[in-house]
Amino acid sequence: MCGIMGYIGPKDAAEIVIGGLECLEYRGYDSAGIALAEGHKIGISKCVGSVANLKTQLEKCSLSGKMGIGHTRWATHGGVTRENAHPHVDPDGKVVLIHNGIIENFHELGEEFAKKGVRFVSETDTEIAALLISSLYRDDPLLAIREACGRLRGAFAFVILFADIADRYYCVRKGPPLVLGAAGGEAFCASDVTALLPYTNNVLFMEDEEIAELSAEGIVLYGFDGLRKEACPHLVDWDASMTSKGTYPHFMLKEIEEQGSVLRRTLTGRLENGVIGLEAEFPFSEDARLFRRIHFVACGTSCHASAVAGRLADRYTGLDVRVETASEYRYGNVICDKHTLAVFVSQSGETADTLAAASLAQARGARCLAVTNVVSSSLGREVGSVLELRAGPEIGVAATKTFMGQLAALTLLTLWISKRKGLLAPQEEKRLCAELARLPAKVEDILARGEDVRKIAERYKGLPAFLFIGREASYPVAMEGALKLKEISYVHAEAHAAGEMKHGPIALLNERMPVVAVVPKDGIYKKMLSNIQESRARRAPIITVASRGDEDIRRFSNDSLFVPETEEEFTPFLTVVPLQLFAYHLASILGREIDRPRNLAKSVTVE
């Protein structure tokens, strides 16, 4: 949460910092700000709202510099005001600082300063960090930063300018991510590698408790103990063109439409000639027979993909399966030991709750695997063993193509474990592999009929709430459909296991509350039909997501979205696509800010 960009070099820092912030805006867009240093003079501009507002504001003033830091905020402490926007400055104007994270002891520290007569300008937890560093600064910036970090509790990524230092700036990481890059007399920092791709793809992911000094000479790394550390850069195989919207009106639509190719990439090399092979990526293959439990732990959309995988694991692995939201897993008394395979699923690999849950499982001796789109993310590095999604950068706040990548990666993983345990017969493996290989074309077939979904969305645009239902693997798909709809259209949507309707939610139904039923032709189809009938009897309009060729379903539906037939195990790969499109089109009809929904940020780096 919050996007950070920093630059030093021969070019105009404003242009580079603003460009970076535009790229990072999916991390927060409540307010934005920039500090530009021209020699020892630091000018600051900040505003409420988007980076576009900041850009317009900057064009009207004469700020410039060859060193600059910028911030796009997702508010935690303090409302969305100009005063609370970053950068923050100490009263003497010695230290200018931007921050991502939460400083937990800012009240206590604030009281100390208040007793000395300091008056705070903002309501943020950040201002205290600028004050503290300034109060500890004599002539050694590194020492002041280290001493301040020793007093601050919580999670923070800082980028800091010192007014009397014109040729360097500093980055600090304890928790939230920071990525650095240096090339040809320039040195950059950003919250996410995507902002650095126009300049370099040879990047340095800061580790926890590190301080970096960035100058035209490059990057020097220190630990919180003040000792120099060796920098180990990574080559990232993404390029800047992957982060462009191209001719699409929104990143979300572009990413939905990429799902066929994402699926192909995720399966490539892991599925050959009817055989699944994960030897190279799954380090616990030899231990598979010793596993007793498999835990899938994640948040949001990643948790929905995990819930689909959980049902497959129930069916194929013979393991005790647990699927848990990361923020709950951490606090429960979970049995998690060396007989447990703990799978942490995260698109970004930076979600604070998922990271904390992974640390807990590692400490308890579980075999841990990260399933992520960003191999070099904090999760990837913390866990060490990674199954990569290969979805390419996802910019839209609403996750779509990475859900598809997660379904594919988790399906392969689950079937691989089944195979290693001797539970997957070769014929069965062949049947499933053949169908997995057909799925990308089937996804593309649904996408080619996207306009039909738009027409249906048009018919429901005035309604205040939707109820999504499904059973077994279609239940997490219903949850994902409801999440997509509420995230980007702000229309109330909730999902229930279809069998639960009669235990309460059915009371909500009337002619203004459509039921979206995920009802592919599977073993539980007949039961779903009964639930649909019950909803119809309460006058709810029915939208069904059904298997193509199921003409009967039309009799029970006001509208139907059809998907190609597939093996029962794989229906979520297909049924989720019309739901993503439905959410997208409804939000577009309602004129919402689709790629930047209110109150949300793509990477949730606070707990």
Q: Is residue 191 part of the contact set for ligand AGP (CB under 6 A)?
A: no
Residue nearer to ligand AGP on the CB measure, 281 or 350? 350
Q: Phi and psi at residue 111, in whole multiples of 5°?
A: -60, -40
**Interacting residues of 88 by C-beta distance below 8 A, sequence separation 6+:** 96, 97, 98, 99, 121, 122, 124, 126, 127, 129, 130
Binders of ligand AGP in range 77-96 (CB under 6 A):
none
Binders of ligand AGP in range 317-376 (CB under 6 A):
346-348, 351, 354
DSSP 437-503: HHHHHHHHHHHHTHHHHHHHHHHTTT-SEEEEEE-TTHHHHHHHHHHHHHHHH--EEEEEEGGGGGG
Residue nearer to ligand AGP on the CB measure, 191 or 347? 347
Q: Phi and psi at residue 346, in whole multiples of 5°?
A: -155, 125
401 is catalytic: no
Among 45, 100, 122, 302, binds ligand AGP (CB under 6 A): 302
Q: Phi and psi at residue 497, in whole multiples of 5°?
A: -65, 130
Binders of ligand AGP in range 370-409 (CB under 6 A):
397-399
Query: What type of residue sits at position 424?
Result: L
For residue 96, give the nearest of 136, 52, 50, 129 by alpha carbon: 129
Residue nearer to ligand AGP on the CB measure, 174 or 602? 602
For residue 16, give the nearest of 206, 176, 190 by alpha carbon: 190
Residue nearer to ligand AGP on the CB measure, 186 or 192? 192
DSSP 131-175: HHHHHH-SS-HHHHHHHHHHH--EEEEEEEEETT-SS-EEEEEES
For residue 109, give the nearest of 92, 130, 132 by alpha carbon: 132
Minimum distance, C-beta of residue 604 to ligand AGP, in the bound complex (Å): 5
Binders of ligand AGP in range 196-215 (CB under 6 A):
none
Contact by Cβ (8 Å): 12, 66 = yes
Minimum distance, C-beta of residue 406 to ligand AGP, in the bound complex (Å): 8
Cβ neighbours, 10 Å, residue 595? 22
Contact by Cβ (8 Å): 367, 282 = no
Residue nearer to ligand AGP on the CB measure, 136 or 488? 488
Cβ neighbours, 10 Å, residue 293? 18
Among 125, 258, 382, 487, binds ligand AGP (CB under 6 A): 487
Distance CA 109, CA 102 (A): 14
Residue of this chain nearest to ligand AGP (CB atom): 300
Residue nearer to ligand AGP on the CB measure, 45 or 580? 580
What is the side-by-side strand order in the sheet with 31-38? Answer: 41-48, 31-38, 67-73, 3-8, 186-190, 179-183, 202-205, 234-235
Minimum distance, C-beta of residue 212 to ligand AGP, in the bound complex (Å): 24
Residue nearer to ligand AGP on the CB measure, 485 or 540? 485
Among 45, 76, 124, 301, binds ligand AGP (CB under 6 A): 301
- For residues 11 to 50, the per-residue mask of contacts with ligand AGP, x marking binding by CB under 6 A and - elsewhere, is ----------------------------------------
Q: Is residue 604 part of the contact set for ligand AGP (CB under 6 A)?
A: yes
Distance CA 353, CA 359 (A): 10
β-bridge mates for residue 235, sequence order = 202
Minimum distance, C-beta of residue 402 to ligand AGP, in the bound complex (Å): 7
Minimum distance, C-beta of residue 347 to ligand AGP, in the bound complex (Å): 3
Binders of ligand AGP in range 434-473 (CB under 6 A):
none
Residue nearer to ligand AGP on the CB measure, 1 or 42? 1
Minimum distance, C-beta of residue 598 to ligand AGP, in the bound complex (Å): 13
Q: Is residue 193 part of the contact set for ligand AGP (CB under 6 A)?
A: no
Distance CA 311, CA 319 (A): 11
Strands 228-229 and 386-388: unpaired
* Interface stretch with ligand AGP, choices 139-147, 298-306, 470-478, 498-506 (CB under 6 A): 298-306
Catalytic residue among 2, 47, 299, 303: 2
303 is catalytic: no
**Is the Cα dihedral 573, 574, 579, 584 positive or negative?**
positive
Residue nearer to ligand AGP on the CB measure, 378 or 544? 378
Minimum distance, C-beta of residue 9 to ligand AGP, in the bound complex (Å): 31
Size of the site for ligand AGP (CB under 6 A): 14
Minimum distance, C-beta of residue 397 to ligand AGP, in the bound complex (Å): 5
Residue nearer to ligand AGP on the CB measure, 270 or 401? 401
Query: What type of residue sits at position 23?
Result: C
E strand or H helix at 119? none
What is the side-by-side strand order in the sheet with 340-346? Answer: 320-325, 293-298, 340-346, 367-372, 386-388
Catalytic residue among 94, 401, 419, 602: 602
E strand or H helix at 63? none
DSSP state of 207: P
Among 221, 299, 323, 408, binds ligand AGP (CB under 6 A): 299
Could you tell me the CA-to-CA distances from 40 to 127, 145, 162 in Å, in that order?
Answer: 21, 19, 9
Residue nearer to ligand AGP on the CB measure, 398 or 586? 398
Minimum distance, C-beta of residue 389 to ligand AGP, in the bound complex (Å): 10
Strands 186-190 and 228-229: unpaired
Q: Phi and psi at residue 454, in whole multiples of 5°?
A: -60, -40
Minimum distance, C-beta of residue 44 to ligand AGP, in the bound complex (Å): 31
Minimum distance, C-beta of residue 58 to ligand AGP, in the bound complex (Å): 29
Residues of this chain that interact with ligand AGP (CB under 6 A) are: 299-302, 346-348, 351, 354, 397-399, 487, 604
> What residues act catalytically?
2, 602
